[in-house]
Amino acid sequence: MSGERLLDLSERWFRLLERLYPPDFSDNMGTAVVETYRDRARDALRRGGVLRLAALWVRALVDSVRNGAGERARPAVRWRRSGNWGRDAELATRRLLRAPALVLAVVGTLGVGLGLFAVVYTVVHKVLIEPLPYKEPGNLYFVWRDYRAFFDLGRGWLAGTDVAELQKAGGVIEDAAGLLRQLTTFAAREGADATEISVIVTSPNLFDLLGVQPVLGRGFAKEEGGPKRPPVIVLTNELWQRIGADRAILGTTVRLNGEPYTVIGVLPPKFGFVRNASLGPPQRADAYTTLNINLAQTNPSAGSYAGLVRARRGTSPQAVAAAVDAVGRVVDARDFKSKGLKLYPAGVAQDLVAGVRPALVVLGFAGILLVLVLMVNLASVLMARAAQREHEFAVSRALGANGSAVVRATLFEGGLLGLAGGAAAALAAVWGTRALVALAPLDLPRREAVVVDWPIAAIVIGLGGLLGVLAAITPATWAARANLSSLLASSAVRGGGGGRGRLRRAMVVAQVTLSLVLLTTGGLVVRSFDRLLRADPGFTPDGLLTVRVPMPAQFIPKVEEAYALQQRIEQSLQAIAGVTAVGATSTLPLTAAASQNGVTIPGAPGITGNPDRDTPLVDVMGIRAGYVEVMGMRVIEGRAFEPVRRDGLREVVIDRNLARQFFPSSEAVGAKIPFGNDGKNVLTVVGVVDQARLYDVHQDGRPQVYLRAEDAAYRTLAFVVRSRRDPQSLVSDIRSVVRQVDPRLALADVRTMDEVVDNAVRRQRISAVLLSGFAVGALLLAAMGLFGIVSGSVTRRRHELALRLAVGADHGRLVRLVLGEGAALVIAGVLIGLPGIYIAGGLLRGVLVGVSPLDPLTLASVALGLGLVTMVACYLPARRVLRIDPAQSLRQE
Amino acid sequence: MGTDRERRGLGDRLPLRRVEFHILLSLASGERHGYGIIQDIEARGETAVPDVGTMYRALARMAELGLIEGAARRPAADAADERRNYYRITDAGRRVARGEVKRLEALMRAARLGRLVTKGAK
């Protein structure tokens, strides 16, 4: 083969290899590369013959593969390096500023929508996800007594002896503490104004157990507990702030119920410990003192301590449960004759949030749906914008802008809009969260931690940006394909819309689907809330003001003195102008604060012979005569207490459920109930009432027993005042009246009964408000989407519609035609959404009260509402068909 | 704004890649076409001569950065009078090359102080 021929072959090989380079490089350098290789080939052939040439071929292959790949990878690098982003941002900002209405609309929608989501996210994150502010909170457990072998109480307080046993247990149980809670009067100095505070009385190891150190001073030392312990107190930061935040407080003396305590420490600001309760909400504390008794020597049958244990690091919950169960068996054998008492642990965090988890999970999912709705909405807005700019894209493509530039610009615009919306949302969430916390039930766990912080704000803004970019992907890819010829083609074929039209329709269907699910969820929760509001709690809260007057034994050593004070307070309250009636109780309804006892009525017809069933656990409360009447409770048999007590007769009023259990068909009045230690006292039933519900507004709790407060040594009572006056205006009168009776007495928990009821339904109220907000928002967005589709379709099909009119169709028919298009989308959305309703129903089951997740009435009204709104959204633009004048329209074309 | 970035870019380029320094060295003594540069490199006794693709990618990048520029396409005496793309060095390219030379000189001084080279050795 001749040299020339070989060189020609080589050149062909080099040209082939040159294709490995990206086009822009080839355009510039390709020829030169091939020429240079050709020069080399000529040299190689001259110097070493065919062999050397073959080696060059191979080398050229390796070179081209390597450098071709390198060069192809380079645009991405150059794009990053050369600062195109800055220029893109500048251009995108400028373009957006030219469309302020669009920016406002998008930022507004995202701000509100994502803001709502951010609020929910904040609450869910802070309450359910963020670890509690203790050392290794996963190893902390509360321990409860399970009495279900005897009566219906699955979560009872521990006895002091149980705590002592847990402390001795060793093994995986590193340490244990017992906690009591007391409400006491507190004075920063002797003679200073007394306020009531909540104090947790604990084993001295509590802070070590939690792994928390005071910021000022120290925690309790080991020997500062038990009998003859020194009276020392550790204040929460909040209480410390309230009394002046003086660093010199260490070593000073404060008074609890008049007794001196030395301040040894102040806790950090973020320390928020609550004592999870056997029943009712967790209890927070303002200060901590130590137990002045030996836990091992307490009464084993009296459950009154919350038990807190720390497990050794790395212990599985099962191992902890086994260890606690073993302790439980020791206790059962020793103190309960092995009748089946059990102890069990519950993780502190799970225990704390167990009550709100179902509602928060529903809210969280609803929030995610809302974000999806927002994304679809944003995508369709960007699509519409891209459609407007179709010309611009096509022209710039024709002028040589490459596809990636157009894609980049569109993505950038979406991202910028999203970021702006996210920022607006973060701001909105700051206020929204505050509003929510103000609205939230007082017992919302970790309420104090629910604040929008920087990480959350960053997540919300980032989510906004991400949404923007995701929403821009479809319009971006579509814009990249736009070119002059397709533009000309699409404007030539009227009424088309092609793939883009289908895409926008799919988006509307998705919006309808999502809003259907949100609407159903919202509808069900609102209806359940409505049921709650309409529920009869067994008393009439209107016009009632309640106030608690603590009478600690330290001030008023003799209980008779307390009775006398109660009597005088009652009389003075009655004398206030406008007051119509006064009553008093140890436990207000809906506060879950009664004590529990097992009671039985020997010889009653309802006795079954099964001692467990015949000794139900009941809520015991003390009331003064007149309480039943003031509260508007219903007496169904006998009478309530009379003002005059009869000597030698201890009266009791029981509730309908207890009466029915023991007297299924006869009157309970007159029955005798043995009561107190070893049943020495006998109570005589004088009346039967309907429950003034203690736990939930919508259902009865455990059976109730009302004693006369004077018979059962109740010192601190809540007074209930019914008046014709505005309850708030009464407060100062009540205050001065109580002060006149005894200046040492403080008022606590001044609130109207309506507030008490309101607080009991707050959780549901919040869910209802948020979810209906989500649902309405989603529905509006879907309606806007439909409006856009139908109005676009009318514009696009103007020509076709005009033609139809010209050949004899009437306007009504055409409106129906256009409406039908919208209706088809709605129906498709609803059909797709139906399984979603079913799934949402499953999630909702734990949240709803008195409403089935598939409640036909709610579903029907949701369907009706959705249908109405969407049809209006279709009809408004469809009406424009009526204005089409065929002659004029066709002439214009 | 642009010039700032470029100036910083030049400083950032030191040390130059081997192929880049070779290119600047060749062009410093006059315009060259691609194969001419390769021949120069071979003449300098370099054992591993850069591949053609590697060199042209370097040329493209250096042209983008303004270190070199394309000269007129004209016939080359050594390639059977075929026309070739010629390149020439720019002032910026010269500055960068001098910078690199200074850097190498400093290294040489250090090597001498460390007695790694006898005085006068290349």
Distance from C-alpha of A73 to C-alpha of A99, rounded to nearest angstrom:
36
Residue A284 near residue A196 (C-beta atoms within 8 A): no
Q: What are A545-604's pLDDT values in tens digits?
A: 999 998 888 778 888 999 999 999 999 999 998 999 999 999 999 888 788 788 889 888
Phi then psi for residue A245, to 5 deg, are 50, 45
Tokens for A248?
């010199």
Average pLDDT over residues A157-174: 90
A301: nearest Cα among A156, A168, A180: A156
Domain ranges of chain B: 2-96
Looking at beta carbons, which residues of chain B come within 8 Å of A83? 5
Burial of A859 (0-12, 13-18, 19+ CB in 10 A): buried
For the ranges A20-29, A201-210, A728-737, the lowest mean pLDDT is seen at: A20-29
Which carries the bigger pLDDT value, residue A811 or residue A677?
Answer: A811
Q: Is the peptide bond before B15 cis (omega within 30 degrees of 0)?
A: yes
Res. A77: pLDDT tops 70: no
Mutate to test the interface with B, among A4, A11, A38, A39 (most CBs of B within 10 A): A39
pLDDT category at A220 given cuts 50, 70, 90 is very high
Give pLDDT, residue A290.
Answer: 94
B90 touches chain A (CB under 8 A): no
Res. A81: pLDDT tops 60: no
CA distances from A525 to A515, A519, A695, A776, A844 (A): 15, 10, 20, 13, 8
Give pLDDT, residue A389.
Answer: 73
Distance from C-alpha of A446 to C-alpha of B102, rounded to nearest angstrom:
66
d(CA A783, nearest CA chain B) in Å: 48
Tokens for A691?
């429950």
Give pLDDT, residue A75.
Answer: 62
Token pair 């007594």: residue: A145
Res. B7: pLDDT tops 70: no
Q: What are A474-499's pLDDT values in tens digits?
A: 778 777 766 666 655 555 444 444 45
Which carries the bigger pLDDT value, residue A115 or residue A439?
Answer: A115
Give pLDDT, residue B71.
Answer: 84
The residues, any chain, with a CB within 8 Å of residue A498's CB and separated by 6 or more, are A490
Cβ separation A32–B60 shorter than 8 A: no
Give pLDDT, residue A677.
Answer: 65
Res. B2: pLDDT tops 50: no
Cβ separation B53–A21 shorter than 8 A: yes
Distance from C-alpha of B50 to C-alpha of B35, rounded to nearest angstrom:
11
B66 touches chain A (CB under 8 A): no
Name the residue in chain B with its Cα closest to that of A21.
B53
Looking at beta carbons, which residues of chain B come within 8 Å of A31? 85
Which carries the bigger pLDDT value, residue A688 or residue A695?
Answer: A688
A129: nearest Cα among A284, A360, A464: A360
Give pLDDT, residue A141.
Answer: 93
CATH of region B2-96: 1.10.10.10
Rg (CA), chain A: 38
> Least CB-CB distance to A71: which of B5, B55, B57?
B57
Residue A292 near residue A138 (C-beta atoms within 8 A): no
pTM of the model: 0.66
Res. A49: pLDDT tops 90: no
Amino acid B114 reads G
Give the number of residues written for chain B: 122
For the ranges A403-412, A624-633, A704-713, A842-851, the lowest mean pLDDT is seen at: A403-412
Q: What are B48-78's pLDDT values in tens digits?
A: 888 888 999 899 888 888 889 888 788 776 6
Average pLDDT over residues A136-146: 91
Average pLDDT taken over every residue of chain A: 85
Distance from C-alpha of A176 to C-alpha of A727, rounded to nearest angstrom:
46
Residue B3 near residue B79 (C-beta atoms within 8 A): no
Return the number of other C-beta atoms located less than 10 Å from residue A526's C-beta.
19
> Least CB-CB distance to A67: which of B5, B57, B82?
B57
Mutate to test the interface with B, among A24, A26, A27, A35 (most CBs of B within 10 A): A35
Question: In the 8-state DSSP scheme, what is residue A402?
Answer: -
Token pair 């190498």: residue: B104
Mutate to test the interface with B, among A10, A36, A37, A65 (most CBs of B within 10 A): A36
Average pLDDT over residues A502-517: 86
For the ranges A73-87, A293-307, A449-463, A560-574, the lowest mean pLDDT is seen at: A73-87
> Least CB-CB distance to A70: which of B35, B52, B57?
B57
B53 touches chain A (CB under 8 A): yes
Give pLDDT, residue A92.
Answer: 77
Tokens for A799?
């020509």
B79 touches chain A (CB under 8 A): yes
Give pLDDT, residue B122.
Answer: 45
Res. A221: pLDDT tops 60: yes
